[in-house]
Structure 1
Amino acid sequence: MSPILRLRDVSITYGGASEPAVSGVNLSLEPGETLGLAGESGCGKTSVAMSVLRLLPRTARVDGEVLLDGEDVREMSFGRLRAVRWAGASVVFQGAMHALNPVRTIGEQIAEPIRLHGGKGDLKPKVAELLEQVELPADRAGAYPHELSGGQKQRVMIAMALACDPRLIIADEPTTALDVVVQAQVLELLRRLVAERGIALVMISHDLSVLSATCERLAVMYRGEVVEHGPTEQVMTRPQHEHSKALAEAFPTVGDSRFRLTGGGAAGEPLLSASGVEVTFRSRAGKAVRAVRGVDLEVGGNEIVALVGQSGSGKTTLARTLLGLQRPTGGEVRFGGEPLPTGSAALRDYRRKVQLVLQDPTGALNPRHTVYEAVAEGLRIHGITDDEPGRVTAALEAAELRPAEKFLSRFPQELSGGQRQRVVIAGALVLEPEVLIADEPVASLDATVRGEILSLLLGLRVERGLSTLVITHDLGLAWNIADRVAVMYQGEIVELGTVEQVLLDPQHDYTKTLLAAVPSTSRGVA
Structure 2
Amino acid sequence: MLLQVDQLSVRYPDFTVHPLSFTLDRGEILALVGESGSGKTTVARAIACLSDPSAQVCGRVLLNGQDLLAMDERKLRTLRMKEFSIAFQASPEWLNPSLPLYEQLREVLCRDFSGPALERRMAELMELVGLEPADLSRLPRELSGGMAQKFLLACALALNPPLVLLDEPTGALDLASSQAITQLIRSINQRLGTAFLIITHDMKLAADLSGRMMVLYGGRVEEAGPTGAILNRPCHPYTRGLLQSAIGLNPVRDIWGIRPTTVPYASHADGCPFYGRCTQSLPECAHRVPELVCQDDGRQLACNRGGIVTLLSCSHLSHAYGRQNVLRDLSLELYSGEIVSIVGRSGAGKTTLARTIAGLLPVCAGGQVYFQGVAVDLCSLHRRIGGMQIVLQDPQAALDPYINVRQAVEEPMRLSGNFRPGVAEQALEEVGLFACDSFLERPIHALSGGQKQRVAIARALTMEPSLLIADEPTSMLDPSGKANLLRMLKGLQNSRGFSMLMITHDLDGALKVSDRMFLLEHGALRQLDPVDYIHVQFDNLII
Provide the TM-score with structure 2 as the length reference: 0.45
Which structure has the bigger radius of gyration?
2
- Point out which structure has higher relative CO (alpha carbons under 8 A, 6+ apart): 1
TM-score, normalising length: structure 1: 0.47
